[in-house]
Amino acid sequence: MPEEVVKLIAAGEVIIGPFSVVKELVENSLDAGARNIYIKLKDGGKKEITVKDDGCGMDREDAVLAWERYSTSKIFTTQDLLKISSLGFRGEALPSIAQVALVTLTTSNGEEGTKVKLKGGKILSIEEISVPKGTQIKVEEIFYNAPVRKKSLRSAGRELRDILEVVMAYSFVSLSTSFRVENDGEEVFFTPPRSTLIERLEDIWGSEFRKSLIPLEFKMGDISIEGWVSRPGEGKSYPLQFFFVNGRWVKGKIFKKAIMEAYASFMGKGYFPMVFLFLTLPTQEVDVNIHPSKEEVKFKDEGKIMRIIENGIRNSFHKLQDEISRKGEEKLTLTPSPIQSSFSFKGVAEKKVEYVVDEFTQVKKAYLIREIEEGILIIDQHALHERILFEKLKDGISKRKVEKKNLLFPVTLELSPVEEKIIEEHSLMLEELGFELEKFGRHTFILRSMPQLLGNEDPLLLIAEVVGKLKDSFRKLEVQELMEEVLKTLACRGAIKFGDRLSSQEMERLIQAWREEKEAITCPHGRPVFVLISWEEIEKRFQRR
Ligand SMILES: Nc1ncnc2c1ncn2[C@@H]1O[C@H](COP(=O)(O)OP(=O)(O)O)[C@@H](O)[C@H]1O
Ligand SMILES: [Mg+2]
């Protein structure tokens, strides 16, 4: 194979498209200690990508050497490889970019300024110039010499989206650096230096977005995670998720899997939680050097990492649930406001009227509401009870003791051949759930018991619904998921309904159960269990603000 072709193929492994040019150049700017990074694009990067920084710059020798393969100023011994702190370390990026485009480097280390022009990996000219300290790299006509790759570039809008994802990712790690992206003369992204991640997230997506996130902080041994994740029930129709391992942005597949599991019953179907997650662990537990563009990481113990992520997210949910339910428990002492008392007549002894709020009221036979310090707390009685039943059933299953209620009058089920088959296939699961079924002739079964927890429901309707659920989903789901689906169905059926009037005792019992149930933030389908309307929001409605 001719050397040129080998080089092109190798370059293609690192430079997949405009976004990877941006990624490599931004990494280099950050490694150079840049405080400000400015990215100028034409046509979503397809025509031109310029990355300009105010980092340390290069001297003339380095400005020329940097274009040679494996010339990196960042690794000195093999030992260094194990504790890489800089983003780049292979010395492959600049030569790879130069291989497939027209490149102009302008750099100065504050003492000497240099301009180097290249085409197809070959240096065309080296000039001495005078520029401020920093580096600017202009990359034009990407893939001009690789027609197939050039053709496979996507629309400018799509390429721009991928570039923005890259820039965002780096902006989440390098908080004290400002980032600006301009496309065809229009500013499309800007974030000033910040001291916290949440401020940066707010810069980009606004204050409503910020409110839909909760903090994540969790540690197990020498592995820790932190960041921000969706409040349960608050997701997007596409995954807005960023993962970092020891400060390095990765496309962790196992992260996605762990997150799906953590949010399984806390997010509606078709929605994805927002996740900004930073994992920190000892370098010997991870191998960053697995992929040429360093995007995938390999862990020594994937299972452990998944457990930490899942537990960490659940832990954040529990903290949120604890906080709110404690508020729902506080006794509020209300005293008349000072304005009122200033109207009192002289001579009349000022009486201090106090009253205490600590009870929920049912409204619309559907919601339980009460005042708390921050505003008005509203609980959805059905969603809450559904979650409580779901968790109790799940707990029973995992401990293999769902209590059964024997039916005084066993019910007879007439089933279609398909349904009959389903029941036979899942007889073990049904048994575990507390449904004791006995075959009684062709297509006929006798139901002898049902789950005690749902003892007030009509057994025939209950089992019919379970069979219906199994019929709908058994081909699509694994056993574990199928069980969860069935549990959701049972919980929904057995829960207090919208429209059920609750006695004060029933309400009290339900609220008590809420306080004890850590997972009661959403119902098992991912709808919120409670909503807090802040005084601020109420005051806005009344135009007091
Ligand atoms: N923006 C920049 N500022 C200062 N030096 C840079 C910049 N970009 C690249 N360099 C120098 O060029 C070298 C080669 O860069 P690159 O090919 O990305 O390899 P790596 O980042 O893996 O070292 C770097 O090691 C660094 O010395
Ligand atoms: Mg680099």
* Domain assignment present for 146: yes
Q: How far is CA 125 from CA 230, 231, 359, 488, in A?
A: 52, 55, 80, 69
CATH number at residue 494: 3.30.1370.100
pLDDT by residue for the chain (545 residues), tens only, comes to: 567 766 766 666 779 999 999 999 999 999 999 999 999 999 999 999 999 999 999 999 999 999 998 767 765 554 454 455 567 666 789 999 999 999 999 999 999 999 999 999 999 999 999 999 999 999 999 999 999 999 999 999 999 999 999 999 999 999 999 999 999 999 999 999 999 999 999 999 999 999 999 999 999 999 999 999 999 999 999 999 999 999 989 988 899 999 999 999 999 889 999 999 999 999 888 875 655 555 678 898 999 999 999 999 999 999 999 998 888 777 777 665 444 444 444 444 445 556 666 789 999 999 999 998 889 999 999 999 999 999 999 999 999 888 999 999 999 999 999 999 999 999 999 999 999 999 998 889 999 999 999 989 999 999 999 999 998 887 788 888 889 999 999 999 999 999 999 999 999 999 999 989 999 999 999 999 999 999 999 999 999 98
Same-domain check for residues 153 and 301? no
One domain for residues 335 and 317: no
- Sheet holding 213-220: strands in order across? 213-220, 223-230, 275-280, 241-245, 248-250
Q: Is residue 64 part of a domain?
A: yes
Asked if residue 367 and residue 497 are part of one domain, the reply reads yes
Residue 533, exposed/middle/buried by CB under 10 A (0-12, 13-18, 19+)?
middle
Distance 345 CA to ligand 2 centre (A): 78
Ligand 2 mean position, distance from CA 25 (Å): 7
Mapped onto helix, strand or coil, the DSSP state of residue 370 is strand
Nearest ligand atom owner, CA of 95: 1
Q: For residue 44, how far is its CA from the centre of ligand 2 (angstroms)? A: 22
Closest CA to 231 of 206, 217, 214: 214
- CATH number of the structural domain spanning residue 157: 3.30.565.10
Please indicate, yes or no, whether residues 267 and 308 belong to a single structural domain of this protein: yes
Shared domain for 40 and 187, answered yes or no, is yes
Q: Under a CB-based contact definition with an 8 Å cutoff, are residues 93 and 27 in contact?
A: yes
Phi-psi region of 499 (alpha: psi -120 to 50; beta: other; left: phi over 0): left
Q: Are residues 332 and 473 in the same domain?
A: yes
Which of 193, 223, 248 is where one domain is finished?
193
Q: Which atom of ligand 1 is nearest to the CA of 57?
A: 4
Pocket of ligand 1 (CB under 6 A): 24, 28-29, 32, 53, 55-58, 62, 66, 72-74, 88-94, 135
Query: Is 203 inside a domain boundary?
Result: no
| Amino acid identity for residue 358 in this structure | D
Which domain-ending residue is among 305, 322, 339? 322
Tokens 């310090």 sit at which residue? 373
**Residue identifier of the C-alpha nearest atom 1 of ligand 1:** 29
- The answer to whether residues 29 and 118 belong to one domain is yes
- pTM for the complete prediction? 0.86
The answer on 297 and 338 residing in a single domain is no
CA of 298 to the centre of ligand 1 (A): 25
Domain membership flag for residue 469: yes
- Identify the domain boundary among 135, 166, 193: 193
Closest atom of ligand 1 relative to the 91 alpha carbon: 19
Domain limits for position 51: 3-193
